[in-house]
Structure 1
Amino acid sequence: MLTSEAEVLGLSPDASSTKAAQGLKSPAQWPTLGCDDSAVWGECQGSGSKPYQTQVDLSGPSFKCSCPSRKFPCKHGLALLLLRTAGKVATSDTRPEWVSEWLHSRRDRADKKEAKAAAVATTLPDPEGAAKRQAKRWSRVDGGLAELSLWMQDMLRQGLATLNLGEQATRQTWQNLAARLVDAQAPGMAARVMQLLDVAGPRDDWPALVLAHLGQWQLLLDAAARRDQLPPAMLDDLMSAIGWNQDKAELLAATPAVTDRWLVLGGSQIEGQGRLVERRMWLWGEQTQRFALLQDYAHGGRGYERAWIAGRSYAASLHFYPGGAPLRAMAADDSQLLDAGHARAESLLAHGEAAQSWRDLAERLAGNPFQSLQPLMLRDVSIHRVEGRHWIATTTEGVVRRMLRLDLPEAEGWALLAASGGRPVLAMGEWSDERWRLLGVWNAVAAGDAASLLWSLPGEVQ
């Protein structure tokens, strides 16, 4: 249960949403307000003729608002929770019909999901039909991968020095290739092409980065050509990299639940083409001592099923997608937000030791060479500004001092430095392309103390 203003604002997607929500936390701006043990709701007068209907399911929390904002949660949802934590929302015995309909629809979806999972678990498999469908798709994928291979060969034959990633003609060529890969039912490879174009363009070391990605793509192409010889776990990883989606009901039925106290380390949102927003949330199992990645998508401001609060723990059951080094998982519907005191630090500190953390990252890459994005958590990290250039993190590993280039917005770097006071911290982020994108920073606590979140990357759409 959210009990303080700071916890509510921890859900804010960016600074502008925080400021806007603060300006809406007066009951005078809400013609209707009410709450009960399950939800809080209200109508906020906006620029239109009708007030916006805003509601929050407190079990998540999960949000819904009739405003056109594509941010999640929007300023109205944040303001509504701020009013509740301030004790300015009276308890009501009767919910408005629009609130009851939404809550019932959420329960119905959960019931249907559970029923579907149960039906999948009891349905006799049809291996012959599945094999035919898979063979048909592979025939299309093979054609798309063959075209990708020729494109890579042409690029290397001409020389990377001839590339101009900022040129419109180059971008159009890459976009056309990505579109053909989507047509070939290989959307995962299409996404890799566009992500490399976006990431490599602004970087000075782009030739080395492009070459490294081409090498990984070649590994993937070789694996696809020899897929009949791959062990099952590696085949799962290969198909996931290409873009095969697993039915969620089948995942729930086929994989065991991993129940733990899951600490939310941080997350980010990234907008792709067509206003499709990807949300990545990283969790840490306090007893199982493993990472989990919750990956959700929302289109056109539709929002997500639930919010995950950085720095808080949840009692939850996660189902991990199969593979050689499973990271991505799906949360069951029984997830519950725990009191703030449940966030402990012992396993965080142990895993944050540099030798242990780098070794675990190497083992995950060896288990799944197609997964380039990896979680990295290190303790005793100092944040520095390279004057006029960028932010770096330094760690001392025995007698070796390591410097890591940070992918950190300018303003957030200064906010992080102010929060840490220049002292060494425990930091977690995404490691990719030799850069570390920080998502959450914790105080350097002693064993047995509660872990205290000092800073987290705002959930703004990048």
Structure 2
Amino acid sequence: MVAAAVAPWSAERVIGLAPDAASAKAGRGLATAAKWADTGASEDALWGHCQGSGKKPYQACVELAEPAYRCTCPSRKFPCKHVLGLMLLWSAGAVAAAEEEPEWVGSWLESRAGRAERARQRAESAGPRDEKAAAKRADERLTRVRSGAAELREWLTDRLGAGLGGLRGGDELRTVAARMVDAQAPGLASGLRRAAALADARRGAPQALLGELSMLFLLADSVSRLDELPAELVETVRTRLGFPVDTARVLESGERVSDDWLVVGVSDEENDGLVTRRAWLRGERSDRTAVVLAFAPPGRPLDGSLPTGHVVSAELAFHPGVPPLRASVVDRAEPVLAPEPRGVAVDGALDGYARALAADPWTDRVPVVLARVVPTRHGESWALSDEDGKQALPLVSTVDPWPLLALAATGPVTVAAEWGATGLHPLTCWHDGRVIRL
């Protein structure tokens, strides 16, 4: 009797796992039965052999629960083009269910299960957390952060009093950033490094540099007034400073919201040797916005369980803050491809950003879904504008406008994006009934 296999995912969900556009394109090129042999699917896994440039075909397999990937090709991307091609072949219904996994797939699944079990045993053997010692460490760190913040306030007051013209590039700012790292305030250090990059730039930098330093001063000054601020705002300040949030405690006592969550966009960003994935969600009943974060070293797989353009019935636990935005997934069902979402005009996006800044002045980006917009010229760069062209949001300078220009060639489109002080970063476009991750 053939074992029951998991229902194939949609092609859009598979493409959402691609680490970049080049991998997605290459994966599509490999999604033909002629390129594969010995394929199969079970309740737990998907596998097959793909002939590459060498004599021996590559072995590719996928554990569907996480998902996790393995391929014998030399690529350092996860998932690689072979895994993507295999999954697209599966999504098209061209991979048959099998009675059992081959030995090489079964061994890999067993090794993964063994590692998970050993990790569970280590966690259990670690014993209960020493709350008294943890509180002592937290107090010691806060003392160091207060000292660092006071030093930064004094330095900023002196530097701005003397004028920004005295800055010779960003080296001075990077030196101060190193002192903030020593003070265990990575949020202040990151802001100083951003300011250093602006100081090294030439065009339009003075205004942006002054804005970055002003927000740093506000954050450093807030450290001296933690006892006076509302509890929710204190949590926001601590998060901006870089204090970790205990996810276990969030899952235990955080605000819970159950809803059908639309994944409007997913953004990957590399910083300090770590890739951060932001999955932006919108509750269909609650109209709440949430962001679920995942982290991995460059080249390693990131959580792909929240695919762009899909709806996931889930319960989220929100981390503390003003407003509560970051969330951890408590429980979820399988994603389902969703129709094109409703969006707002440009003025609606501006109103939403203003409300976000009023609640959290350090907000650097908010999600927005723009309805019926078209790419237009904005000075020497590009923007997305309403149909009448009266209002527009400029794209960030690093965005390639040509994919959007091609998609909007026949008319306005719906676009999900991150909107912040540096401009609009498009993430998703809905076109002719398809969802396209940009």
Same fold (TM over 0.5): yes
Conservation of the 8 A alpha-carbon contact between 1:408 and 1:437: no
Tell me what 1:460 maps to. none
Tell me what 2:367 maps to. 375
Conservation of the 8 A alpha-carbon contact between 2:198 and 2:208: no
Distance 2:329 2:321 in 1: 17
Establish whether residue 304 from structure 1 lines up as the match of residue 302 from structure 2: yes
Give CA-to-partner distance per residue, 1:53-101, whole Å, 9 cap, x none.
Answer: 4322334554344555443432122011122234443322222455446
Q: Which runs of 5+ in 2 are unaligned?
A: 1-6
Tell me what 2:395 maps to. 406
Deviates more, 1:139-148 or 1:321-330: 139-148
Conservation of the 8 A alpha-carbon contact between 1:319 and 1:331: yes
Deviates more, 1:294-303 or 1:230-239: 294-303
Q: TM-score, length-normalised on structure 2?
A: 0.84
Distance 1:111 1:288 in 2: 37
Tell me what 1:291 maps to. 289
Secondary structure of the equivalent of 1:194?
Answer: helix
Secondary structure of the equivalent of 2:401?
Answer: helix
Give CA-to-partner distance per residue, 1:395-414, whole Å, 9 cap, x none.
Answer: 389xx93332211656x412
Q: TM-score, length-normalised on structure 1?
A: 0.80
Establish whether residue 323 from structure 1 lines up as the match of residue 315 from structure 2: no
Distance 1:415 1:191 in 2: 32
Tell me what 2:237 maps to. 238
Deviates more, 1:29-38 or 1:430-439: 29-38
Secondary structure of the equivalent of 1:149?
Answer: helix
Tell me what 2:142 maps to. 138
Distance 2:361 2:374 in 1: 30
Structure 1 residues 422 and 219, CA gap change in structure 2 (3 angstroms): farther
Secondary structure of the equivalent of 2:216?
Answer: helix
Q: Does 1 or 2 have the higher relative contact order (CA < 8 Å, sep 6+)? A: 1
Secondary structure of the equivalent of 2:243?
Answer: coil
Structure 1 residues 431 and 197, CA gap change in structure 2 (3 angstroms): farther
Tell me what 1:314 maps to. 312
Give CA-to-partner distance per residue, 1:295-328, whole Å, 9 cap, x none.
Answer: 2111142212334322121222222211110221
Aligned residues: 432
Structure 1 residues 363 and 110, CA gap change in structure 2 (3 angstroms): farther
Secondary structure of the equivalent of 2:227?
Answer: helix
Give CA-to-partner distance per residue, 1:221-265, whole Å, 9 cap, x none.
Answer: 111001111211111111100111112222211214322221111
Structure 1 residues 332 and 42, CA gap change in structure 2 (3 angstroms): farther
Tell me what 1:456 maps to. 437
Distance 2:311 2:282 in 1: 9
Secondary structure of the equivalent of 1:336?
Answer: coil
Structure 1 residues 37 and 381, CA gap change in structure 2 (3 angstroms): same
Q: 2:352 aligns with which of 346, 352, 360?
A: 360
Conservation of the 8 A alpha-carbon contact between 1:383 and 1:422: no
Tell me what 2:403 maps to. 415
Within a 5 Å distance, the mapping from 1:104-183 to structure 2 comes to 126=131, 129-163=133-167, 165=169, 170=170, 172-183=171-182
Structure 1 residues 135 and 381, CA gap change in structure 2 (3 angstroms): same
Secondary structure of the equivalent of 2:417?
Answer: strand
Give CA-to-partner distance per residue, 1:97-148, whole Å, 9 cap, x none.
Answer: 55446556777888999999999xxx8994x555422211111212322333
Distance 2:24 2:308 in 1: 16
Cα RMSD (Å) of the superposition? 3.7
Tell me what 1:251 maps to. 250
Q: Percent identity?
A: 37
Tell me what 2:383 maps to. 392
